[in-house]
Amino acid sequence: MHLLQLQIQDFRNLRKVNFKPVEGVNLITGVNASGKTSLLEAIYYLSHLRSFRTPQITDLINRQSSQLQLVARINTDYENIIPLGIQRSRNKLEVRANHQPIKRVADIATLFPVLAIHPDSYKLITGSPLQRRQYIDWGVFHVEHNYYSVWQRYKRALSQRNAALKSRQNNAYCSLWDRELFDMATYIDTLRGKYLANLAPYFNELVTEFFKGQTVEMMYKRGWPESTSLIELLQNELHKDRMKGLTQYGPHRAELNIKVDGQSAQTGISRGQQKTLVALLRLIQAQQFTESTGRNCILLYDDLAAELDSNHRQKILKVLAKMQVQLFITAIEAEQIDLSAWATKKMFHVEQGQLKDLI
């Protein structure tokens, strides 16, 4: 899958941009505040229907406009080219794929899978467990087709159970959803475990190269103690759940712990190490995506040069050059990024929201 063309209207400072990237690597340069991150953010928005920088839609719509518009042409891996379009005003969202309205974000994400590495990405490590669950779930979602609906069922049962707990319903009523929770939880946990086991060889290979002589471990905690049955736990802990007004155990409490030489990656390593680690986590996710689906995804790398020292930068570029992804990199100056390893490449320059093709 790759992006052939993206027409942007009124997305942040990009008032009118016609972007025609290549299938290999696209380098976007420009001074501070020219609109580089905004360009990547627009691509990301088209896939996720949310930004990696802000939860507020009003931040994304150009200040002098009432709506933004993104119209893309993508080459799906099924040998066809289809249009994708988004129109977003402050209170209305319209999404179309191949001229048909799209109702679920899952559908557009499937058509147009996009991963991003950006200056705030280290929060994947330092932030809440939710972010790490989302990391795992992105991968599972793209490999297992019914994962999304199973998650939806789990979420519905969980919120109904929590509502019953909060409104102090009797035990029998609160337990009505236990079976559904248990069934969905078992499925979610199995698929998450399988996905992480699939990622492990990619992770180990890169970690050996980037964290020489160090031990880096990634440990998945499923959200309830090993060797206990969730259905029994739901029943036995019901009184505590009732006191707290929420369900304490289940895949909604899963966690991915990362340790470097026995130290928690959240608190015990440097920011540069965290950034490297997050980059590796995204790279392996893209690699595994290609292997398991036979499709390519898009990888956005915002501010690659600013993120890493030159040794790490070179190493990352070497890994990127071997990957089957459509790549978008931003940098202040072209000299910071060595693209010599790529056969298919194009350079762009942004100046005050205007995009120019360089070669």
Ligand X SMILES: Nc1ncnc2c1ncn2[C@@H]1O[C@H](COP(=O)(O)OP(=O)(O)OP(=O)(O)O)[C@@H](O)[C@H]1O
Do the Cβ atoms of 300 and 129 come closer than 8 Å? Answer: no
Q: Which of 2, 36, 192, 275 binds ligand X (CB under 6 A)?
A: 36
Q: How far is the CB of 275 from Mg ion (least distance, A)?
A: 15
CB of 9: closest distance to ligand X in angstroms? 12
Q: Which phi and psi (to 5°) does residue 108 adopt? A: -75, -35
> Residue 32's binding partner, choosing from ligand X, Mg ion, none, with beta-carbon cut-off 5 to 8 A by kind?
ligand X
Cα distance between residue 318 and residue 304, in whole Å: 13
Q: Which residues pair with 75 in a beta bridge?
A: 2, 81
Part in contact with ligand X (CB under 6 A); list of ranges 36-44, 105-113, 155-163, 199-207: 36-44
> Does 30 sit near ligand X (CB under 6 A)?
yes
Asked whether position 33 contacts ligand X by CB under 6 A, the answer is: yes
Q: Does 13 bind ligand X (CB under 6 A)?
A: yes
CB nearest Mg ion: which residue?
37
Does 34 participate in binding ligand X (rule CB under 6 A)? Answer: yes
Count interface residues toward ligand X (CB under 6 A): 15
User: Which of 9, 34, 37, 285 lies at the binding interface for Mg ion (CB under 5 A)?
Assistant: 37
Closer Cβ to ligand X, 38 or 162, answer by number: 38
User: How buried is 276 (Cβ within 10 angstroms: 0-12 exposed, 13-18 middle, 19+ buried)?
Assistant: buried
**What single string gives the DSSP state of each residue in 219-230?**
EEE-SS-TTS-H
| Cβ–Cβ < 8 Å for 9, 68 | yes
The correct pick among 21, 35, 139, 251 for binding ligand X (CB under 6 A) is: 35
Count, in order, helices (H) and strands (E) of the chain: 13, 15
Applying the rule CB under 6 A, the residues between 321 and 350 that interact with ligand X are 332
CA distance 4 to 212: 39
Bridge partners of 82, per DSSP, are 74
For 350, other C-beta atoms within 10 Å of its C-beta total: 24
Residue 202 CA from chain centroid, whole number: 18
Instruction: From the list Mg ion, ligand X, none, pick the one residue 62 interacts with, judged by a Cβ distance below 5 to 8 Å according to partner type.
Output: ligand X
Site string for ligand X, 41-70 (x = CB under 6 A): ------------------x-xxx-------
Site for ligand X contains 354 (CB under 6 A):
no
Structure tokens at 298: 């898009």
Which window, 29-37, 73-81, 225-233, 335-343, contacts ligand X (CB under 6 A)? 29-37
Q: Which two tokens stand for residue 80?
A: 């066809």
Strand 25-29 vs strand 325-331: parallel, antiparallel, or unpaired?
A: parallel
- Tell me which of ligand X, Mg ion, none is bound by residue 106, counting a contact when its beta carbon lies within the kind-specific cut-off of 5 to 8 angstroms: none
CB of 41 to ligand X, least distance (A): 7
Q: Which residues bind ligand X (CB under 6 A)?
A: 12-13, 30, 32-38, 59, 61-63, 332
